[in-house]
Amino acid sequence: MFYLRGCGRWVAASFTKQQFPLVRLSSDSAAPRTPHFDVIVIGGGHAGTEAATAAARCGSRTLLLTHRVDTIGQMSCNPSFGGIGKGHLMREVDALDGLCSRICDQSGVHYKVLNRRKGPAVWGLRAQIDRKLYKQNMQKEILNTPLLTVQEGAVEDLILTEPEPEHTGKCRVSGVVLARRSAAMLLDLHQP
């Protein structure tokens, strides 16, 4: 587990600074690139965008890896947020200054309270969202978040540290290897 600076929260991953040989990005490159990030988030879906922006808001240099930048914020064929169970989750995300609630406010076309005839404990807030507007607003927010770098790429492998002697099999993730045509790139995580 590691501590996100300024957030007062523990995250279920551990990263250590360790040097690994880097693969050159092109044959004419004289020196390997060494990008360093405090947090790497793999996947630009709803959870990935929330995790990446939360880490960046807490002051961590964050990398969001996704297959395609133009699919960030893409919704399913039923573009709604909330409902009986998910409405509570949306309120929790909103209380933690999450993105999806703010973007829903900007992109909503219809709002409804479900189970209104019953008591307030079972009411469910639901918002129907304009898919194109949601995607556009989400991408604008993600691409303009300070300390957040968005990169297209597929993760080929994780770079792990040696297991701790007292905990057999317990390794730490210290970087990722990306597929890039015939080359690979190592993104080294470090902890200050």
Q: What is the mean pLDDT of residues 181-190?
A: 49
Higher-confidence position of 168 and 142: 142
Q: What is the mean pLDDT of residues 109-113?
A: 90
CATH number at residue 147: 3.50.50.60
Q: Are residues 52 and 93 part of one domain?
A: no
pLDDT confidence of 91, banded at 50, 70, 90? confident
Higher-confidence position of 80 and 7: 80
168 Cβ partners below 8 Å, 6+ apart?
none
Q: What is the DSSP string of 53-118?
A: HHHHHTT--EEEEES-GGGTT---SS-EEE-TTHHHHHHHHHHTT-HHHHHHHHHEEEEEEETTTS
Q: Is residue 148 packed enough to be buried (19+ CB in 10 Å), middle (13-18) or exposed (0-12)?
A: buried
Note the pLDDT of residue 18: 34
Domain that holds residue 63: 34-75+136-191
Q: Are residues 170 and 147 part of one domain?
A: yes
Q: Are residues 140 and 183 part of one domain?
A: yes
Q: Are residues 85 and 70 part of one domain?
A: no
- Per the CB < 8 A criterion, the answer to whether 64 and 48 are in contact is yes
